[in-house]
Amino acid sequence: MSPDLLHTSPRSTPAAVGDFHPVRVIAITGGKGGVGKTNLSVNLAVSLAEQGKRTLLMDADLGLANVDVLLGLSPRHTLADLVAGRCTLDEVLVEGPDGLLIVPASSGFRHMAELQPAEHVGLVHVFSELQRALDVMVVDTAAGITDSVLTFCQAAQDTVVVVCDEPASITDAYALVKVLSRERGVDRVHVVANMVRDPNEGRRLYEKLARVCERFLGDVALHYLGAVPQDDWLRRAVQRQQAVVKAYPGSPSARAINDIARLAARWQPPAAARGNVEFFVERMISGSVAA
């Protein structure tokens, strides 16, 4: 990694960044792959942008990135170029639908999937240098309990775990929540049930996970954010390399994701820094000093 990126301090940002208010950061994750987390990340970000929120979408699946593929984009630079010191974060940004800003990652670069913990923290800190006015940032993490997943979830204000109706999905989601709680101090998690056959199935999936967490992780608060139905229109949107909320806004999946986005849009930006690794921490520090 570029020495400048690795040693970026959260306090090294130019003073001008204090002109920008804090950013609400939402990490979308899952205990296992194949649960539809990237589709949710992309469509949630596009929906928030449609609602007038100044939104940034970060592809944080560093070794197997595909946000750009889902949106039909051809980025000139990716996070791999940033890490190598070939460009700045601002030069990585690509504009998507409704002014959505996207930070694309690379796919098939093994070294990106094997970054060291300090390098993940360096990636978090470099966002404090971004000279853009933003309201919300959506982070599409990798699946599982790797250091990158844990660090990016810890650095967000809200973590959304995506589950589907598979035993392994529930088991791995519980394992992820357990590690986030015990190793990173994450004590609040939102749950989205994906690819459900009916709304009751989504609620049952959440309650199944909530019962296990309540029994063994009493200090973790789980919140049900909603369910996204199994929907052929979503598959068609993926084939067209478009967000379903744009391509088929009247479809069941688009309506469900828009409902989730409206809930997330009401979440308030952070009032102050928490004292650990955190995206856009300089804006919170500056805001606290100004207050």
**What is the full DSSP assignment across 199-219?**
HHHHHHHHHHHHHHHHHH-TT
Residue identified by tokens 């791999």 is 80
Q: How far is Cα of residue 39 from the mean position of the Cα atoms in its chain?
A: 11
Pairing of strands 188-196, 94-95: unpaired
Q: Check if the beta carbon of residue 194 is closer than 8 Å to that of residue 185.
A: no
Separation of alpha carbons 40 and 81, rounded Å:
26
Tell me, what's the pLDDT at 20?
73
Show Cβ contacts of residue 27 under 8 Å, excluding neighbours closer than 6 positions.
Answer: 60, 139, 141, 152, 153, 155, 156, 158, 159, 160
In this predicted model, what pLDDT tens digit does every residue of 246-272 receive, in sequence order?
999 999 999 999 999 999 999 998 888
**Has residue 19 got a pLDDT over 80?**
no
Q: Check if the beta carbon of residue 32 is closer than 8 Å to that of residue 168.
A: yes
Nearest to 128 by CA among 266, 5, 264: 5
**Has residue 283 got a pLDDT over 90?**
no
Q: What percent of the chain has pLDDT over 70?
A: 91
Pairing of strands 101-103, 94-95: antiparallel
Separation of alpha carbons 16 and 25, rounded Å:
21
Tell me, what's the pLDDT at 5?
55
Angle between the N-to-C axes of helices 232-239 and 252-265, in degrees from 0 to 180, rounded to the nearest 10:
80
Separation of alpha carbons 161 and 264, rounded Å:
14
Q: Could you say which DSSP state residue 229 is in?
A: E
**Has residue 98 got a pLDDT over 60?**
yes
**Has residue 127 got a pLDDT over 90?**
yes
Matching CATH number, 3-13+23-268, of 3.40.50.300, 3.30.70.330, 3.40.50.1820, 3.40.50.620: 3.40.50.300
CB-neighbour burial class of residue 197 (10 A; exposed 0-12, middle 13-18, buried 19+):
exposed
Q: Could you say which DSSP state residue 32 is in?
A: S
